Structure 1
Amino acid sequence: MGPAITNATSAHDGDLAAVIVLHKHVLRPGTPPGKLSRFGDPIWHIAPAHPDAHAKINSIYWDRWPNELVPVFKEIALAFLTRPVPRTITVSSDGELMSIGTVSFRLRTLRVFAAWMSLHQLCGLHEVTDEHLERYRQHVLQLQASNRHKKELLVAVRTVWSFQAVLPQQCRFDAVAPWAGSAPAKLAASPCRPAGAENTTPRIAPATMEPLLHWSLRMVEDIGPDIIAALTEVKQLDAGTHPSQQHLHNLTSRERVQAFVADATAHSRPVPGHPLRDEHEQPRINWRHLARLLMLPSRRVDPCLRPLVLESDLPVADGSPIGAITGHIDGRPWRTSPLSTQELPQLAAHLSVACFVVISYLSGMRPGEVLNLRRGCAQRDHDTGQLLVLGRYGKGAARTPRPTLGDDPFERTWVVVQPVHQAINLLEQLGDTPLLFPSSHYKPHAIRPADRNARRAQDITSDIAAFITWINSTFVRLDHEPVIPPDPAGRIYPSRFRRTLAYFIVRRPRGLIAAALQYGHVSTTMTMSYSGQADTAWLNDLAVERLESVLEHNQRDHELLTAGEHISGPAASNYHHRIQSAHRFAGHVVNRVRNAERLLQHIDHNIHHGNGMTCVYRADTAACRTARITEGLPTPTGPIDTE
């Protein structure tokens, strides 16, 4: 576990202004001293205490609050950060601190209350009565906002009330209880989602998911190595270690330029240029890349040396070529022209998001779990040979900011398939940051430095859209239809992959992923991965998907029989009986996974639909099973799809 910043001084003893507001929290390793905010600072940086490197946590800017109320709400904010959550808020708090994400959200909603107090000339919570709270509720109800947001505005006030025992007098309400204890959702007319309600995350349609995964795998296996090789060459040129630069070390700048012109003339090679935006644009020399090739000081070609190139009459290339094309698709190079330095950053971004799709989809990880993966996370079990990914829990209150790999008591492993390890290997070559998905691979980010901040989920959504656009514009089908068609449910965002994988494993177990990777293989490895974990959400998704699938098949089979479908074969009567029995199922309300599993035992009549026949499976007479027993092979509990 990472080191905690400790401060023995209580918030109400000694110099309050000097108290570090995050002194009760474990901070991300490498947090600069300038981010350790103190009580008296005008800005509180609380993101260093958030466990997820991809999360966007806004700092608290106290100059945006009513000036006369800043001392009051600073006390409240400090209580949120340093005091355990009262059981009046959650009975399962067990002395835990409020999560940093919740603190940030609660303060955003409390700022609305502070603005209302300032408007009504209330200088402290000790002046707020039950009558004032009712007026504030009426104010909230009149806002142009959703009912859910209105509820959260009232919840924020109720949260402050719950912390009253640890707050000074000026931060305590002069009220009996906010709104007589009525639930904020009821006061704001906000419907509450019932426990166990349906997962509303839309699946990605098969017509979109299959080609998206197919091209993501092609990026990893065929195109990615060329991009990595080009990036490596650029790094070598920048460092002056490329083999083509060895003869330049003892030459002056003028001699280097002269040597380049002589060599380019002798081999009919063009001068590196900038990409032409249209056919009417005049070619322009890329002086910066030429300086990189020749290791010129300050990475620039001195103006007095440029005539040596301009007067040589060498042609100027459309872009600055780098690397070589070695990857093939359908037996042909994936592109006819070499890569250029100008397009490398965008190609690297496409490769990164393709790796995200492969890792996320073929492991079943949550988006945050993928985005927080670190260098060295791909491992192999020495005893079983299983491919593993070492990460950390993406959900739960017991998480802390991740220290170095192997030191986190809350880390966990996933059992994965080979393409996941291939994607991780490419990402480790793509950059040198500790995180596999840094906030930026190229552009420095002052607010979210790449060495300790991961790319955000909303950025990945934009990256996926850009990747699909690039694939559709680069690789064209003969019928001119999109290579990756749009999804009917709209934009593809990260959390949809986990939901979609459960559907594919249950509904299309024999469908092949690109590169001959079977969904059945993914299902086996993921079940091994999740069966021993406290997080059973993935297994829950599978149970619900199986229930929905069986119900849909039963309904469809009954409709076909009713319409006069002809059936024949030794199991025809058995099939007819099972379908009629399934149709008599009256239905039950399913709001828990245990209910889904229990119902499956009653309505799943072991009818398996294949391309050539329908199997009415019975273990003691199944030919596929008895044949395997005779041969001494393992016998599964259901029919064997490949036989």
Structure 2
Amino acid sequence: MSLALNPLFLPPALGAFVFDPALVPEERRPFVPRYGDPGWSVLALTQNPSATDDIIYWRWFPEVFREPFRFASWTLINYPLPDEDVARHGAAMRSKLSAGRILKTVNQWSQFAQWLHERGITRLSHVAAEDLADFALQLDKKRGLARNTAVGYLVGLSRLHYYGRHLPQADRLVEPPWVSEGMDDYLPAATPGGENITEPISPVVMGPLLVWALRFVEEYADDILTAYEEHRRLVAAADALDVPLTPGCGDGLVSFLEQLEAEGRPVPVTSWNPNKPLAAAGIFLAATTGTPPKKVHSTMRRPRWKAYTRDHHGPCLLEAPVTAKLGGEPWHEPFEFYSITTLVKHLVTACFIVLGYLTGMRTGEVLGLENGCCPDLAGDEEAAKRHLIYGRVFKVARDENGNHDSAGIVREAPWVAVPQVVTTVRVLERLGSDGLLFAAEAHDPRLPERRSGRSLAIATMSNRIESFIEWVNTHAESRGRQAEAIPADPHGRVGTGRFRRTLAWHIARRPGGLVALAVQYGHMRTLISQGYGSRSRGGIHDLLDFETARNVAEHLSEVHEAIQDGEGISGPAARRLIHSAAQEHHRFGGIIASVRQARSLLADPTLNVFENKEAFLFCNYDRAKALCHPGRGGKNEAPSLDRCKANCANIARTDTHARKLREAADSLNRQATSGLVPAPLADRLRERAQNLAELADQHDNDRVMPGTGAEL
């Protein structure tokens, strides 16, 4: 989106477009701002469907800097940087910026302008290199910004300097010192960033959240969609009746009301809350009785029907049946005309939760999915289970010049879809949007002219997740199922960006029983690995590596500390476990802070140690010795912890495991002697308890103590 160079260095006319509307997709041309507008929308600069309508406001800038930075921003939008400027910069730089980065850069310029104004500097040409160094210093010392954020500020100021050659002399910024000296001396210390510092959703939250989302998708969807179809039919019928009134057009409504009055039945109203004024259900009554909506409203204002409605009113019940069950009872009361749209919102939210959690996609990638993205496959039954999802990626999309491609690019390796994801896609397709699965026009009909071609916004979906959780908890309480409520997450709102990290966390750790579909995680690791196998390792694999390595490092660090405190180790792999714990402590100290460290740990076969809490053991994984993989000559990179064998040479146990074995054995014996279980089950419980106690005794007999030379 480049305009011809302005040789006179003069700003455009106030009424001129900021950039050429002809270069913008037609549905976004109304968003192209004029140069003199108090705010510039950047929505027309991007084709990402989940992009928000962000606006650059000139009130952000002190008045003395407002026009210079307006012109600089116009230049930023329209002119790519020359290759020599891009090449000489110390940090990664693009010749043109994405819409989001333009907004962020101008916002950072506004904060720089405020800082200059506070120091009494009123022109960019008056700024000295020392001033820029001071500004960089205060980003760390006073504002405490992370290194990556501070880099953005410095790169933005470098870009402002480069564009100075197109600006009037008074508005040109001196070359920042970091351009020639490098950025390191002007930045805070490096810290881990990106998705690796995003807190995963707590298992006690993710478990019930996913259970309820899957209930909506797999069990309740048919009921909701059937009721919603009836709702849409009634709305369409009422719209068709919005015609000029004719004599007798209200007779059907009067007959309907007289029948209600004769039988003492309630009049359908939009709200029967005693704290709100009553209002007859105009659309519902119009469609039901074939009466124009205008006539419905005038009829319901008559004293007779107004008084009857006041004393006899109730909900507008749809005829759609409630077929799904919850605990043997209908999961919901009969559907109501004015509340079914709320259930549809919750259904769409449940679909997002399932897709966001069980695919590994980023939020924007989920919201960018289109109808037909998951085609049915022909072939045998096994092949049909291996559905693929074709969609676009946006974060790493680049055009031929290496600049960000806001439209995204079709992902070369499609995502692999487990059956629950396929069901979710089919539900969204049934909702009737022709384009995007999460089309704003279909799922958020406010201001449709501003939502054409766009998906639901990320912030909107984040708010809907919170509303979904609130609805679930209210519903669970009303059904006496408080144990199934979704608790608050200790790290705050669930949001939309934490599902991807949480998936990696659970695949790497698989806390059995706490999260629905835990048994699927091993399969999902295999499927995801196959989907990424022929590509460079990146994306979700980075998160999988990171979480797996963190898990290993934490466990080995705990083992090392336990050994130092005098705990013993038993099992065929006892010496290997002691050695691994010492090696990990020496190299990593129990802390993995980057993907590079994660890969380094996982590349060391002596550190491939995984705890199986269900079997009370550590697996010191050696593929050649593993009994969980019968074909041990294959390419299995991780153990199948759900198939641990008691005689495997990779097993090691700690005193802590032995203590937990005895606690589990005592618990089983108490159940067996309680008199509350049938005799055959009690016998099996006692047999299981005896086996666990024998494993604990075996540990006590075979344990290796620190200082015996076993760690060598």
Asked if Structure 1 and Structure 2 have the same fold, meaning a TM-score greater than 0.5 normalized by the shorter chain, the answer is yes
Comparing both structures, which one devotes a greater share of its residues to helix? 2
Instruction: Look up the SS of the partner of 2:27 in the other structure.
Output: coil
SS at match of 1:475: helix
Partner of 1:226: 223
The residue number in structure 1 matching 2:693 is none
Alignment-mate amino acid for residue 303 of structure 1: S
CA contact (8 A) 1:348 1:430 kept: no
User: Is the 1:617–1:639 Cα contact (8 Å) retained in structure 2?
Assistant: no
Q: Report the Cα distance in structure 2 between the residues aligned to 1:271 and 1:552, rounded to whole angstroms.
A: 64
- 1:193 equivalent in alignment to 2:195: no
Q: Does structure 1 conserve the Cα–Cα contact (< 8 Å) formed by 2:90 and 2:183?
A: no
State the distance in 1 between where 2:328 and 2:211 align.
Answer: 16
In the alignment, which residue of structure 2 is the partner of 1:416? 417
Alignment partner, residue 604 of structure 1: 607
* 8 Å CA contact retained: 2:223, 2:322: yes
1:342 to 330, 338, 343: 338
Q: Structure 1 residues 69, 543: closer, same or farther in 2, change over 3 A?
A: closer
Q: Which piece of structure 1 moves more, 309-318 or 353-362?
A: 309-318
Q: Does the CA contact (< 8 Å) of 1:381 and 1:387 recur in 2?
A: yes
Counterpart in the other structure of 2:164: 164
Match among 35, 40, 49 for residue 53 of structure 1 = 49
Are the counterparts in 1 of residues 356 and 500 from structure 2 also a CA contact under 8 Å?
A: yes
Measured against aligned partners, the alpha-carbon deviations of 1:358-397 in whole angstroms (never above 9, x if no partner) come to: 0000001111211222333222455754312222113125
**Distance of 1:134 and 1:583 partners within structure 2:** 46
- Asked if the contact 1:31–1:48 (Cα under 8 Å) also holds between the matched residues in 2, the reply is yes
Task: Go from structure 1 to structure 2 and tell me whether the alpha carbon gap of 1:177 and 1:447 turns closer, same or farther (over 3 Å shift).
Answer: farther
CA 549–311 in structure 1, closer or farther in 2 if over 3 Å, else same = closer
CA distance in 1, matches of 2:517, 2:546: 29
C-alpha distance after superposition, 1:521-580 (max 9, x if no partner):
22222222233445713112212222222233334556677888788xxxx552322222
Q: Structure 1 401/30 Cα, relative in aligned 2: closer, same or farther at 3 Å?
A: farther
Equivalent position to 1:401, from 394, 397, 406: 406
Q: 1:639 to 1:356 in 2, by over 3 A?
A: closer
- 1:328 paired residue number: 325
Aligned to 2:543: 541
| Deviates further, 521-530 or 365-374 | 521-530
1:410 Cα offset (Å): 6.0
For residues 582 and 350 of structure 1, do their structure 2 counterparts lie closer, same or farther at Cα, with a shift above 3 Å needed?
same
Alignment check: 8 A CA contact 1:257 1:309 kept: no
1:4-38 per-residue CA deviation (whole Å, 9 max, x = no partner) reads: x675x333379943865444996445213x32335
- Aligned length, in residue pairs: 613
Amino acid in the other structure paired with 1:504: H
Following superposition, the deviation at residue 201 of structure 1 comes to 0.9
Q: Report 1:550-561 matches (<5 A).
A: 550-556=552-558
**Counterpart code for 2:614:** N
The CA deviation at 1:217 is 0.5
- Find the partner of 2:579 among 575, 581, 601: 581
Q: How has the CA–CA distance of structure 1 residues 444 and 163 changed in structure 2, closer, same or farther, with 3 Å as cutoff?
A: same
Show the counterpart of 1:520: 522
Offset, 1:451: 2.3
8 Å contact 2:473–2:482 — kept in the other structure? Answer: no
- Quick check: 1:301 aligned with 2:302? no
Change (3 A) 1:61 1:469: closer
Kindly indicate whether the alpha-carbon contact (under 8 Å) linking 1:441 and 1:450 is maintained by their aligned counterparts in 2. Answer: no
Query: What displacement does 1:495 show?
Result: 1.7
Q: Normalised by the size of structure 2, how large is the TM-score?
A: 0.73
SS in 1 for 2:450: coil
Tell me the TM-score normalized by structure 1: 0.80
CA distance in 1 between counterparts of 2:133 and 2:581 reads 54
How far apart, CA to CA, are the structure 1 residues paired with 2:309 and 2:108? Answer: 66
Q: Match of 1:581, as an amino acid?
A: H
Report the equivalent of 1:105: 104
The structure-2 alpha-carbon separation of the partners of 1:112 and 1:311, relative to structure 1 and needing over 3 Å to count, comes to closer
For 1:42 and 1:282, how far apart are their aligned partners in 2? Answer: 41
1-structure distance, mates of 2:194, 2:298? 69
Query: For the Cα contact (< 8 Å) 2:34–2:40, is it kept in 1?
Result: yes
Tell me if the contact between 2:576 and 2:606 (Cα under 8 Å) persists in the aligned partners.
Answer: no
Matched-pair contact (CA < 8 Å) for 2:207–2:514: no
* 3-state SS, counterpart of residue 495 of structure 1: coil
Checking the alignment, whether the CA contact within 8 Å between 1:16 and 1:39 is kept in structure 2 is yes
Give the distance between the partners of 2:484 and 2:560, measured in 1 at CA. Answer: 37
Alpha carbons of 1:424 and 1:300: their partners in 2 closer, same or farther (altered >3 Å)? farther
Q: Quick one: which amino acid aligns to residue 334 of structure 1?
A: W
Opposite residue 541 of structure 2, the aligned amino acid is L
Q: 1:180 to 1:471 in 2, by over 3 A?
A: closer
Aligned to 2:250: 254
1:373 corresponds to: 369
Cα distance change of structure 1 residues 502 and 239 upon mapping to structure 2, 3 Å threshold: same
**Quick one: distance in 2 between partners of 1:142 and 1:583?**
37
Local SS of the residue matching 2:314: coil
Note if contact 1:28-1:49 (Cα within 8 Å) is conserved in structure 2: no
The answer (yes or no) to whether the contact 2:612–2:641 under 8 Å persists in 1 is no
Q: Whole-Å Cα distance in 2 between the matches of residues 110 and 617 of structure 1?
A: 53
**Alignment CA distance shift 1:410-1:170 (3 Å):** farther
C-alpha distance in structure 1 between counterparts of 2:91 and 2:188, whole Å: 22
Counterpart AA for 1:641: D
- Determine the C-alpha separation between the residues in 1 that align with 2:551 and 2:360: 20
Residue 205 to residue 107, structure 1, CA distance change in 2 (3 Å): same
| 8 Å CA contact 2:199, 2:501 repeated in 1 | yes
2:91 corresponds to 1:96: no
- Find the residue that maps to 1:163 and give its secondary structure: helix
Q: 1:443 to 1:210 in 2, by over 3 A?
A: closer
- Residue 356 (structure 2) pairs with residue 360 (structure 1): yes
Q: Separation in 2 of the partners of 1:510 and 1:603? A: 25
Decide whether aligned partners of structure 1 residues 618 and 375 sit closer, same or farther in structure 2, where only a CA change above 3 A counts.
Answer: closer
1:277 and 1:463 mapped to 2: Cα distance? 24
**Larger relative CO (CA 8 A, sep 6+): 1 or 2?**
1
Partner amino acid, structure 2, of 1:78:
W
Structure 2 Cα separation of the partners of residues 311 and 609 of structure 1: 69
1:391 aligns with 2:394: no
Q: CA–CA distance in 2 between the matches of 1:128 and 1:168?
A: 15
Q: 1:193 and 1:448, CA in 2 relative to 1: closer, same or farther beyond 3 A? A: farther
What residue in structure 2 maps to residue 456 of structure 1?
457
CA distance in 2: counterparts of 1:639 and 1:38, whole angstroms: 61
Matched residue SS, 1:388: strand
* Secondary structure at the counterpart of residue 31 of structure 1: helix
Select the residue among 274, 286, 290 that pairs with 1:291: 286
Deviation at 1:184, TM superposition (A): 7.2
Partner Cα distance (2:218, 2:503) in 1: 21
Match of 2:76 in 1: 80
Tell me the distance in 2 between the aligned counterparts of 1:46 and 1:161: 22
> How far 1:135 sits from its partner (Å)?
8.3
| 1:302 to 1:184, Cα distance in 2 relative to 1, 3 A | same
Quote the offset at 1:517 in angstroms: 6.4
Letter of the aligned partner of 1:110 in structure 2? W
User: Is 1:12 aligned to residue 7 of structure 2?
Assistant: yes
**How far did residue 151 of structure 1 move?**
7.7
Matched residues in 2 for 1:536 and 1:464: separation? 28
Residues 143 and 339 (structure 1), Cα distance of their counterparts in 2 relative to 1, 3 Å cut: farther
Deviates more, 1:510-519 or 1:197-206: 510-519
Contact 1:360 1:497 in 2 (8 A): yes
